[in-house]
Amino acid sequence: MSGRLLGSLCMVTLVVLYAGVGQDPFAALVLTPVALLPGLLRWRIRLNLFAQGGLSLALLGIAAFLVRLLPGPQVPFRGVMGPLVPFLATASILIAAHRLFLDQPAGGDRATVAHGFWCLVACGSQRAGLLYALGCTLYLALAGAWLRYPSKPWALGRHRGWWVLILTLSSLLAGALAWVIPKAHARIVGWLIEVSTTQIGLHDGPLELGSLEGLADSDRIVARIFHFEGDPLLRGVVYHDYNRGRWLTRQTGLTRSTPISGAGGPVEIRLERSDSPRFLLPLASRNLALNTPSALVDPSGIFLPIYGTSAQWARYEPGPRDLHLPEPVQPVDLSLPPRMLSALEAIARRFVGDATDPQEQLLRLQRGLQAEHPYATSFRRPSQAEPLLAFLETPGAGGHCEYFASALALLARSLGIPTRVIGGYRVSEFNRVGGYHVVRERNAHAWVEAYLPGQGWVSWDPTPAVSLEVAGSLETPLLGAWWDAILIWGGEGFQWALDHPSKVALGLGPVALWILLRELWRRRQAARETRLPGILEQIDPPPAALHQLLRTLERSGFPRGASEPLEAMARRLEEQRPGDGAAVLLQRYAALRYGGVGQEEELAAAVTRYCARRGSTAE
């Protein structure tokens, strides 16, 4: 058994493992010949490091093309990395298999084995149990035997101990991998979901006053917005009913699946979390397009992904909504806790004075709140008191957005203006390097939507403007801006490559073909240079007597023509110098050289006498 064949069997093991775990027979049908060919063919090529890297990039494009072309696994891989597992496994097998064709691959056979580990790790995201353990055992055993080649640990006799040791260690390591990798994958996925969550504090449960405080210092990115303009308030959850410092969502009303048929506008919101529970959109958005053809739309005009899909991006045109408007005013939009009614009415009348127009009343309520209460991110409230009344009735009491929004909503309701509290994010930070806005968890915000006659639902943000500075810089720091922009550009390039595998293959294919043709040409030139000295070594060099004769003739005015055969020179000499004797000597040399007729010593003596007669001295 050759070492190359052992390497091919390692690759075949990876193919069978991936096809078995994902139940993908088409991948096995395509990748098995690719894995076997290096062990069956004796042809090897030698490439420099640059050429090997270029060929690996071309194989990445081919892997993306195969993933798009083949039907895919019948058992989808789970987790946030699940959609990438077919590509990772296919690329791992292709790159490891092509290295078996290389005469001196970068990193040697150990690096080839390491490339195969990517396939093991990718397949480990699926809980395949015994199948995964057996696949890991077989791969590790074959890899160990291959790396020890040519000691032939599989042979009988004194090498049996190596074989037993390899199998034992492989079984132990494979068992550990089978147990660790799925658990590690689940732990990492959970950690990624935890650190990349975009909806902490924005859920369908109650909104406690102060629940957004924990997000004030969080730099985790929620979304990026390209070509942003218009309303900076991104709606996440609508709250209707207030009681004892807690806002509740309205539970009545059906969330309906609705086709999203808009063409999309210039503004694009890309959510950082791929499985976000809702799309984040401003109230003033029209001509909407989502990454899914349909979405769930609740009565408040909030868009949620349908089960089995994910919220990834949304494109819209700034302006009043043309479709999916929030439902009209409901009784709950005017409800107030009875024990708070008189206190709220007194405070509201003090703020609005003699104003009767709802819009003017809202404006005076907002001015009064901002004049009497500063913005603060941390403060103490009496534990037994109603937190909102404690905020309103305490002179100079500070509060953050939830308090200002709650106060405006309830004060407006006491004047008969329907209101709702909205939880979401406020757009403020701009990445000048990438040319897009960044929304972070610290930009979590609460505001009010009030219903005005002739205008419908209108956004009101009573929180003082100083909160923008507290929420963080309005411009991404330069180093962070460059780093984030590079990640975005790189991710876009990678996603484009996955979405357009044929273009990638078309672009990288000529590179791979050029590398292959150049290698073939170099091998041909090297073979010629190796073969030519061998041929010349088989031919005896001309004797010194011939050089002496030709030099004598040249000095006497009869040089040899370029590439002129000796026989032709002899005939020319006989015609121009009949009876000279040199023509006979040339013919004798040709007969000796190519026919083996005559003696070299006698010919050399005759040449010496001729040259002496012509007055030449032998050298």
* pLDDT tens-digit series, residues 561-593: 777 787 888 888 888 888 778 888 888 888 877
Closest C-alpha to 141, from 150, 132, 151, 153? 153
Residue with the larger pLDDT of the pair 51 and 456: 456
User: Which segment of 159-173, 203-217, 424-438 scores lowest on mean pLDDT?
Assistant: 159-173
Q: Do 119 and 145 sit in the same domain of this protein?
A: yes
pLDDT of 395 strictly over 70:
yes
Rounded alpha-carbon distances, angstroms, from residue 30 to 26, 90, 142: 6, 10, 22
Q: Do 58 and 98 sit in the same domain of this protein?
A: yes
Closest C-alpha to 68, from 390, 494, 500? 500
Q: Is 410 a domain residue?
A: no
| Cα–Cα dist 138/141, whole Å | 5
Of the pLDDT bands very low, low, confident and very high (cuts 50, 70, 90), residue 508 is: low
Strand partners of residue 247: 207, 242
Per-residue confidence (pLDDT) for residue 191, from 0 to 100: 44
User: Which segment of 37-41, 286-290, 452-456, 583-587 scores lowest on mean pLDDT?
Assistant: 37-41
Please answer whether residues 15 and 122 qualify as being in contact, where contact means their C-beta atoms are separated by less than 8 angstroms. no
| Cα–Cα dist 102/47, whole Å | 7
Q: Do 57 and 105 sit in the same domain of this protein?
A: yes
Per-residue confidence (pLDDT) for residue 200, from 0 to 100: 39
Strand partners of residue 246: 208, 243
Residue with the larger pLDDT of the pair 141 and 500: 141
Token digits of residue 216: 């004030």
Most confident of 93-97, 305-309, 459-463, 553-557: 459-463
Of the pLDDT bands very low, low, confident and very high (cuts 50, 70, 90), residue 168 is: low
Per-residue confidence (pLDDT) for residue 204, from 0 to 100: 57
Q: Is 338 a domain residue?
A: no
Residue with the larger pLDDT of the pair 522 and 2: 522
| Cα–Cα dist 8/11, whole Å | 5
Identify the residue whose tokens are 């480990």: 124
pLDDT of 542 strictly over 90:
no
Per-residue confidence (pLDDT) for residue 362, from 0 to 100: 95
Q: Do 455 and 317 sit in the same domain of this protein?
A: yes
Q: Is 309 a domain residue?
A: yes
Q: Do 71 and 181 sit in the same domain of this protein?
A: yes
SS3 of residue 528 by DSSP: helix
Cα Rg, the chain, nearest whole Å: 42
What is the distance, to the nearest Å, from the Cα of residue 86 to the centroid of all Cα atoms in its chain? 13
Residue with the larger pLDDT of the pair 56 and 175: 56
Per-residue confidence (pLDDT) for residue 358, from 0 to 100: 93
Q: Do 150 and 211 sit in the same domain of this protein?
A: no
| Cα–Cα dist 27/280, whole Å | 38
pLDDT of 165 strictly over 70:
no
Rounded alpha-carbon distances, angstroms, from residue 403 to 61, 75, 247, 258, 393: 54, 49, 11, 35, 13
| Cα–Cα dist 517/64, whole Å | 24
Strand partners of residue 316: 267
Q: Is 483 a domain residue?
A: yes
Residue with the larger pLDDT of the pair 61 and 146: 61
pLDDT of 618 strictly over 50:
no
pLDDT of 336 strictly over 80:
yes
The domain of 217 spans 207-333+419-490
Q: Do 105 and 133 sit in the same domain of this protein?
A: yes
Q: Is 467 a domain residue?
A: yes
Q: Do 167 and 231 sit in the same domain of this protein?
A: no
pLDDT of 230 strictly over 80:
yes
pLDDT of 559 strictly over 70:
yes
pLDDT of 210 strictly over 70:
no
Task: Tell me the whole-structure pTM to 2 decimals.
Answer: 0.55
| Cα–Cα dist 552/532, whole Å | 31
Please answer whether residues 484 and 438 qualify as being in contact, where contact means their C-beta atoms are separated by less than 8 angstroms. yes
SS3 of residue 245 by DSSP: coil
Amino acid at 391: F
Q: Is 356 a domain residue?
A: no
Percent of the chain residues past pLDDT 70, beyond the cut: 75
Q: Could you tell me whether strands 456-460 and 303-304 are parallel, antiparallel, or unpaired per DSSP bridges?
A: unpaired
Long-range contacts at 81-84 (CB < 8 A, ≥ 24 apart): 81/122, 81/125, 81/185, 81/189, 82/125, 84/122
What is the distance, to the nearest Å, from the Cα of residue 141 to the centroid of all Cα atoms in its chain? 31
338-327-239-322 Cα dihedral, nearest 10 degrees:
-140
The pLDDT of 291-296, averaged and rounded, is 89
Residue with the larger pLDDT of the pair 619 and 591: 591
Residue with the larger pLDDT of the pair 33 and 193: 33
Per-residue confidence (pLDDT) for residue 381, from 0 to 100: 66
Token digits of residue 193: 């979901």
Please answer whether residues 242 and 266 qualify as being in contact, where contact means their C-beta atoms are separated by less than 8 angstroms. no
Q: Do 111 and 162 sit in the same domain of this protein?
A: yes
Percent of the chain residues past pLDDT 90, beyond the cut: 22
pLDDT of 461 strictly over 70:
yes
Please answer whether residues 8 and 96 qualify as being in contact, where contact means their C-beta atoms are separated by less than 8 angstroms. no
Per-residue confidence (pLDDT) for residue 238, from 0 to 100: 92
- The DSSP call for residue 541 is P
Identify the residue whose tokens are 């969080």: 218
The pLDDT of 166-187, averaged and rounded, is 52
pLDDT of 274 strictly over 80:
no
Domain's final residue, options 508, 534, 558: 508
Per-residue confidence (pLDDT) for residue 82, from 0 to 100: 64
User: What does residue 530 show for φ and ψ, rounded to 5 degrees?
Assistant: -75, -35
Of the pLDDT bands very low, low, confident and very high (cuts 50, 70, 90), residue 535 is: very low
Q: Do 132 and 273 sit in the same domain of this protein?
A: no
| Cα–Cα dist 88/94, whole Å | 10
Query: What's the number of domains the chain is made of?
Result: 3
pLDDT of 506 strictly over 80:
no
Q: Do 253 and 143 sit in the same domain of this protein?
A: no
Rounded alpha-carbon distances, angstroms, from residue 487 to 2, 123, 480, 483: 44, 26, 11, 6
What is the distance, to the nearest Å, from the Cα of residue 149 to the centroid of all Cα atoms in its chain? 36
Token digits of residue 468: 């923008």
Q: Is 424 a domain residue?
A: yes
Residue with the larger pLDDT of the pair 478 and 134: 478
The pLDDT of 41-52, averaged and rounded, is 77
Token digits of residue 521: 């040409």
Please answer whether residues 248 and 427 qualify as being in contact, where contact means their C-beta atoms are separated by less than 8 angstroms. no
Closest C-alpha to 334, from 412, 254, 403? 412
Q: Considering the chain, what is the average pLDDT of its residues?
A: 78
Q: Is 592 a domain residue?
A: yes
Q: Do 95 and 21 sit in the same domain of this protein?
A: yes
pLDDT of 376 strictly over 50:
yes
The pLDDT of 275-291, averaged and rounded, is 87
Rounded alpha-carbon distances, angstroms, from residue 469 to 27, 220, 341, 572: 54, 17, 34, 104
pLDDT of 33 strictly over 70:
yes
Of the pLDDT bands very low, low, confident and very high (cuts 50, 70, 90), residue 361 is: very high
| Cα–Cα dist 263/28, whole Å | 41
- Residue 113 C-beta-side C-alpha neighbours within 13 Å: 19
Residue with the larger pLDDT of the pair 558 and 494: 558
pLDDT of 510 strictly over 80:
no
